[in-house]
Structure 1
Amino acid sequence: MKKRIVAVLLAAVMIMSITGCQSKENGSEKSEGKLTKVTFVLDWTPNTNHTGIYVAKEKGYFKDAGLDVEIVQPPEDGAEVLVGSGKAQFGISFQDSMMPAVVGDDALPITAVAAVLQHNTSGIISRKGDGISSPKGLEGKKYATWNLEIEKATLKQTVEKDHGDFSKVKLIPSTVTDEVSALKSKKVDAIWIYYGWAGIAAEVAGLKTDYFAFKDIDPVFDYYTPVIIGNKDWMKKNPETAKAFLAAAKKGYEFAIDDPKSAADILCKAAPELDSKLVEKSQEYMKDQYKAEVKQWGYMNPKRWNAFYNWINEKGLSKTKIPENTGFTNDYLE
């Protein structure tokens, strides 16, 4: 899904022509007694990152908040562009991959408004016993890369933090969609994953693996991923509706924390193509990730957010310097 960064960069230059086509329903606050239509766009196919949204819809939390929420799949150019155009009011993104869309003259009118998870659960998975239990072990091994600058800079820093030589890592251009099959076939040795889904999928498949998380190697990589993004222009006109949406989403995620089995059933009902065993086990893992140690679901710590974007600045990974507090706000959380 990291390849969406490229699509965001290309699409951003076209955004101003799209924004003029917003529909009337995306205007000001809802009329008394009527449900306000809100479109929420996923980043990928349904998974346990999204459970709270599906719970809020199924349990009537959105309806109780005066909202008629439609959940849609992302277009080829990603959730950021759809939200930025006003075709969707909210969606799922990631602090790293949304970066090109929130800086520079062609920045889209989007901002992160809630952290789905409190910590970065991504890292590198490999076959157990292949010697990749730490970043240095990637030397001489085949890593499936999206060939993205932030991705490679992240990997380079983690390998060097572990006293390894990044130049010895074999970068194999590949967009892996089935991590278990890719590892079993030995086409690649290491893959960047989100443990809550792909790592759990390996467990369910009985594949023994080694794994290390980026945040455990360097705290600068404990950035926010995934996040809910919103259209800034729409939210400015509709602040109470935006707050109502996030309050209902919060109830959905807190339900998933308290009752992961029922939440898994709701997700499977909405997306029956999913493996129920994977969903249930993933949901059990995710219940401790949605809020972790914080009291308020969705809260984003400015220090952690800025630390990652400051790192991007230091590495020269953005054509435009990213100012402090770019791309996020806690103002719509209650």
Structure 2
Amino acid sequence: MKRKLISGFLLSTLLVSCAPQAPAVTSAPGAGTGQTPASTSAPASPSTAGDLKKVTVLLDWTPNTNHTGLFVAKEKGYFAEAGLDVDIQTPPQGGSPQLVAAGKADFGIDFQDTLAPALAADSPLPVTAVAAILQHNTSGIISRKGEGLGRPKGMEGKKYATWDNPVEQAIIRNVVEKDGGDYSKVQLIPNNITDEVAALKTRQVDSVWIFYGWSGINAQVSGFDFDYFAFKDLNPVFDYYTPVLIASDRMIAQDPETVRKFVGAASKGYTFSAQNPQAAAEILLKHAPELEPTLTQESQKWMANQILDPGKPWGQMDAQRWDGFYRWLWENQLIQKEIPAGQGFTNDFIPGQ
């Protein structure tokens, strides 16, 4: 579940230089689990394959518990019931939005923060978030227990592993300064980490940004004593949507029924995952046997409370939260153009909307 935040410069470069190409299964970071790429799609039944519409969805990284609902929807036949033969693939690093926009994939997974530079470009990337995979931002800062980094001010004078990304560093600055700390005293070192727990144990770093649903659970399973604070608990504007399911604007306009069917089946898969985490984890492990079983099971249990909010359907996005984060990026000069309210997401395909 580990990922790098893509800077506006890098994403702009990708938009210019990324020639259309067929999606490929490639290596991607895996939160220190040692996982290796695997084929993530099972063939459709020969008796029904010809009757189903072929659809491709690109993950953001190699399979993990962010993706369980898709594998459940495939395994339990929800996609097939909707008339879809879904091929789940892992894209080149950072390439999912570009390939979706170019029509080389039907759906993809990305993040509200990394979509921002593309949506704020002079020619915005023609993709739209059609569902929130998780209802809340599960990221924050992990550190060794008892060293004072359980709050942002404690990062003063300590080594933080940075991706050298303007949005990432602005978030860190915000929480440190709101806690009365001096951001200029935070020691920024390059984030070349593949295993957060190992990096903390060896004192390579004192703190690192993680997504708790995988890396935090990995620390628990490993028996590592740690402190942690979540960004959304310190500033509500940081409760942005990460990850999200995206589709191209062209597909939304020209084939809304396929979008509706795909999101509806995915909703069934993720709802099942939230209500039956053990069974869902077993399905994920079947499709991604390289994952560590205990970590996967414990992660899925924890994620169950992040997939659904009480009284709300899976995937629904709150306009105030979506727009509020993009407004914060604009006010802090982190994007080149203001993103209009309501741009970049839709709830139109969420079942029951």
- Matched with 2:194 is 177
Mapped partners of 2:194, 2:247: distance in 1: 27
Residue 8 of structure 1: which of 4, 7, 11 is its match? Answer: 11
1:294 Cα shift? 4.2
CA contact (8 A) 2:61 2:93 kept: no
**CA deviation after TM superposition for structure 1 residue 7, in Å:** 4.2
**Which residue of structure 2 aligns with residue 251 of structure 1?**
268
The aligned runs of 1:291-302 (5 Å cut-off) are 291-302=308-319
Q: Give 2:300's aligned residue.
A: 283
Matches of residues 66-77 of structure 1 in structure 2 within 5 Å? Answer: 66-77=83-94
| Aligned equivalents of 1:186, 1:237: Cα separation in 2 | 53
Matches within 5 A, 1:148-227: 148-227=165-244
Matches within 5 A, 1:1-334: 1-5=3-7, 7-14=10-17, 18=20, 34-334=51-351
2:41 equivalent in structure 1 = none
For residues 271-313 of structure 1, give each alpha carbon's deviation from its aligned partner in whole angstroms, at most 9, with x where no partner exists: 0000010000000001111012342100000000000000001
Tell me, yes or no, if the aligned pair for 1:8 and 1:78 is still in contact at 8 Å.
no
Tell me whether 196-205 or 321-330 shows the greater mean CA deviation.
Answer: 321-330
* Cα offset, 1:64, TM superposition: 0.6
Report what 1:30 is aligned to: none
Q: Aligned with 1:132: secondary structure?
A: coil
Taking only the aligned residue pairs, the percentage that are identical comes to: 54
Deviation at 1:175, TM superposition (A): 3.3
Q: TM-score, normalised by structure 1?
A: 0.93
Which letter does structure 2 place at the counterpart of 1:213?
A
* In 1, Cα distance between equivalents of 2:280 and 2:94: 30
- TM-score (ref. length: structure 2): 0.88
Q: d(CA) in 2 for partners of 1:99 and 1:42?
A: 19
Residue type of the alignment partner of 2:4: K
Structure 1 pair 331/120, CA: closer, same or farther in 2 (3 Å)?
Answer: same
Superposed CA offset, 1:211-268 (max 9, x none): 0000111111011111111111012111111000000000001111111101000000
Contact kept in structure 2, 1:8 and 1:81, CA below 8 Å: no
CA distance in 2, matches of 1:7, 1:60: 39
Contact 1:115 1:298 in 2 (8 A): yes
CA distance in 1, matches of 2:336, 2:120: 9
Q: Deviations over 1:127-183 (max 9, x none)?
A: 111110100010011000000000000000000111111001000111322111111
Alignment RMSD, CA only? 1.7
What displacement does 1:4 show?
A: 3.7
Report the Cα offset of residue 62 of structure 1.
0.4
- Segments of structure 1 that go 5 or more residues without pairing to the other structure are 23-32
Q: How many equivalent residue pairs?
A: 322
Larger mean Cα displacement after TM superposition, 205-214 or 102-111? 102-111
Q: Is the 8 A contact 2:60 2:93 kept in 1?
A: no
- Distance in 2 of aligned mates of 1:133 and 1:288: 23
Q: Matched residues in 2 for 1:18 and 1:332: separation?
A: 27
Q: Which whole-Å CA distance do the structure 2 matches of 1:131 and 1:181 have between them?
A: 19
Give 1:61's aligned amino acid: Y
Q: CA deviation at 1:326?
A: 1.7
Hey, which bits of structure 1, 4+ residues long, moved more than 3 A?
A: 3-7
